[in-house]
Amino acid sequence: MSAAITASPLRRKRDWPKHSIIWAFILIELFPLYMMFQVSFKDNASFIRQPWLPLWPGEWQWDNWVFAFKLIGPYLANTVFVAVTGTVASLFLAILAAYFFARHKLPFSGFLWSAFLILMLLPGVANIVPLFMLLKNMSLLNTLLALILVGVAGAQVFNIFVLRHFIEDLPKDLFEAAEMDGASHFQQVINIVIPMASPIIGTLAILAFLNKWNDFLLPLIILRDKELFTLGVGLIYLDGEYVKQWGQIMASYFLASIPLIIIFLFTMRLFVRGLSAGAIKG
Amino acid sequence: MAFPLSRQKLLREWRLYFFVVPSLVMVLTFAYFPAASAVYHSFFDWSGGEAKQYIGLDNFKRAFTDSTLLNSFVTVGALMVFNLFKMIPSILLAVLIHRLFSDRWQYVYRALLVVPMIVPQLVTLFIWKFILDPNLGALNRVIEATGLKSVLVAINDFFGWSVFFEGVPIGWLSQPELILPALFIWGFPWIGTVGVLIYLAGLQSISTEIYEAAELDGIGPFKKFIYIELPLILTQVRLSLVLLIIGTLGGYGLQLLLLNEYGGPGGRGMVPGLWMYNRGFVAGEFGYACAIGMILFVVILSLTIINNRYVRVEK
User: Residue A263's domain is classified under what CATH number?
Assistant: 1.10.3720.10
CA dist B182 and A158 (Å) reads: 34
- Give me the domain span that covers residue B204: 61-132+171-310
Which of chain A's residues have a Cβ under 8 Å away from the Cβ of B201?
Answer: 276, 280
* Structural domain includes residue A9: no
Looking at the DSSP assignment, which residues form a beta bridge with residue B173?
none
* Structural domain includes residue B8: no
Residue A281: pLDDT band (50, 70, 90) is very low
Least confident of A75-79, A149-153, A268-272, B180-184: A268-272
Query: Which of B27, B126, B197 is nearest residue A239 as measured by Cβ atoms?
Result: B126
Looking at the DSSP assignment, which residues form a beta bridge with residue B52?
B46
* Structural domain includes residue A166: yes
Which of chain B's residues have a Cβ under 8 Å away from the Cβ of A239?
Answer: 126, 129, 257
* Structural domain includes residue A198: yes
* Structural domain includes residue A2: no
Query: Which of B123, B138, B243 is nearest residue A235 as measured by Cβ atoms?
Result: B123
Question: Are residues A168 and A189 both part of a single domain?
Answer: yes
* Structural domain includes residue A65: no
Question: Are residues A50 and A83 both part of a single domain?
Answer: no
Question: Are residues A44 and A150 both part of a single domain?
Answer: no
Average pLDDT over residues A25-44: 87
Which of chain A's residues have a Cβ under 8 Å away from the Cβ of B195?
Answer: 279
DSSP reduced 3-state for A150: helix
pLDDT digits (tens, 9 = 90+) for A239-267: 877 677 888 888 998 898 888 888 878 87
Question: Are residues A93 and A232 both part of a single domain?
Answer: yes
Residue B210's CB is within 10 A of a number of other CB atoms, namely 14
Q: Are A159 and A94 in contact (CB under 8 A)?
A: yes
Closest Cα of chain A to B147: distance in Å?
18
Torsion of CA B216, B217, B222, B226, to 10 degrees: -110
Predicted confidence (pLDDT) at residue A85 exceeds the cutoff of 90: yes
Angle at CA of residue B281, ends B279 and B284, nearest 5°:
65
Interface of A with B in 52-71 (CB under 8 A): none
Average pLDDT over residues A40-59: 83
Interface of A with B in 92-121 (CB under 8 A): 93-94, 96-97, 99-107, 109, 112, 115-116, 119, 121
Which of chain A's residues have a Cβ under 8 Å away from the Cβ of B193?
Answer: 275
Question: Are residues A22 and A154 both part of a single domain?
Answer: no
* Structural domain includes residue B121: yes
Q: Are B100 and A15 in contact (CB under 8 A)?
A: yes
* Structural domain includes residue A180: yes
Query: Which of B2, B35, B257 is nearest residue A102 as measured by Cβ atoms?
Result: B2
Query: Which of B102, B195, B256 is nearest residue A6 as measured by Cβ atoms?
Result: B102
Question: Are residues A156 and A35 both part of a single domain?
Answer: no
Nearest-Cα residue of chain B relative to residue A172: B1
Query: Which of B33, B197, B304 is nearest residue A272 as measured by Cβ atoms?
Result: B197
Tell whether B232 lies on the interface with A, counting CB pairs under 8 A: no
Which of chain A's residues have a Cβ under 8 Å away from the Cβ of B127?
Answer: 32, 35-36, 253
How distant is the alpha carbon of residue A1 from its chain centre?
Answer: 33
Residue ranges of chain B whose pLDDT lies below 70: 1-12, 311-315
Which of chain B's residues have a Cβ under 8 Å away from the Cβ of A231?
Answer: 120, 122
The interface predicted TM-score (ipTM) is 0.80
B273 to each of A123, A259, B254, how far by Cα in Å?
11, 31, 11
**Cβ separation A130–B290 shorter than 8 A:** yes
Contacts of B153 (CB under 8 A, 6+ apart): B164, B165, B166
- Give me the domain span that covers residue A251: 71-281
Domain stops at, among A37, A60, A83: A60
- Give the model's pLDDT for residue B68: 92
Residues recorded for chain A: 282
Which of chain A's residues have a Cβ under 8 Å away from the Cβ of B257?
Answer: 216, 236, 239
* Structural domain includes residue B152: no
Provide the percentage of residues in chain A whose pLDDT is more than 90.
Answer: 18
Question: Are residues A147 and A43 both part of a single domain?
Answer: no
Predicted confidence (pLDDT) at residue A4 exceeds the cutoff of 50: no
Question: Are residues A180 and A241 both part of a single domain?
Answer: yes
Predicted confidence (pLDDT) at residue A7 exceeds the cutoff of 60: no
- Give the model's pLDDT for residue A11: 55
Contacts of B106 (CB under 8 A, 6+ apart): A1, B97, B98, B100
Backbone φ and ψ of B54, nearest 5°: -70, 125
Count of structural domains, chain B: 1
DSSP reduced 3-state for B44: strand
Question: Are residues A49 and A102 both part of a single domain?
Answer: no
* Structural domain includes residue A38: yes
Tell whether A236 lies on the interface with B, counting CB pairs under 8 A: yes
Q: Are A37 and A258 in contact (CB under 8 A)?
A: no
Q: Are B272 and B291 in contact (CB under 8 A)?
A: no
Least confident of A85-99, A121-135, A216-230, B55-69: A121-135
Q: Which helix (H) or strand (E) holds A262?
A: helix A246-266
Query: Which of B3, B35, B188 is nearest residue A122 as measured by Cβ atoms?
Result: B35
Top pLDDT among B11 and A18 is at A18
**Cβ separation A1–B5 shorter than 8 A:** no
Question: Are residues A41 and A171 both part of a single domain?
Answer: no
- Give the model's pLDDT for residue B223: 87
Query: Which of B20, B97, B198 is nearest residue A22 as measured by Cβ atoms?
Result: B97
**Cβ separation A264–B114 shorter than 8 A:** yes
User: Residue B122's domain is classified under what CATH number?
Assistant: 1.10.3720.10
- Give the model's pLDDT for residue B89: 92
Residues recorded for chain B: 315
Listing DSSP states for A184-232 in one string gives -HHHHIIIIIHHHTHHHHHHHHHHHHHHHHH--HHHHHH--SGGG--HH
* Structural domain includes residue B162: no
Least confident of A20-24, A150-154, B219-223: B219-223
Question: Are residues A119 and A174 both part of a single domain?
Answer: yes
Count of structural domains, chain A: 2
- Give the model's pLDDT for residue B176: 86
* Structural domain includes residue A5: no
Closest Cα of chain A to B21: distance in Å?
8
Tell whether A5 lies on the interface with B, counting CB pairs under 8 A: yes
* Structural domain includes residue B26: no
Residue A5: pLDDT band (50, 70, 90) is very low
Q: Are B127 and B187 in contact (CB under 8 A)?
A: no
User: Which region holds residue B291: left if phi is over 0, alpha if psi is between -120 and 50, else beta?
Assistant: alpha
pLDDT digits (tens, 9 = 90+) for A222-242: 898 888 899 888 888 888 776
* Structural domain includes residue B244: yes
Question: Are residues A129 and A202 both part of a single domain?
Answer: yes
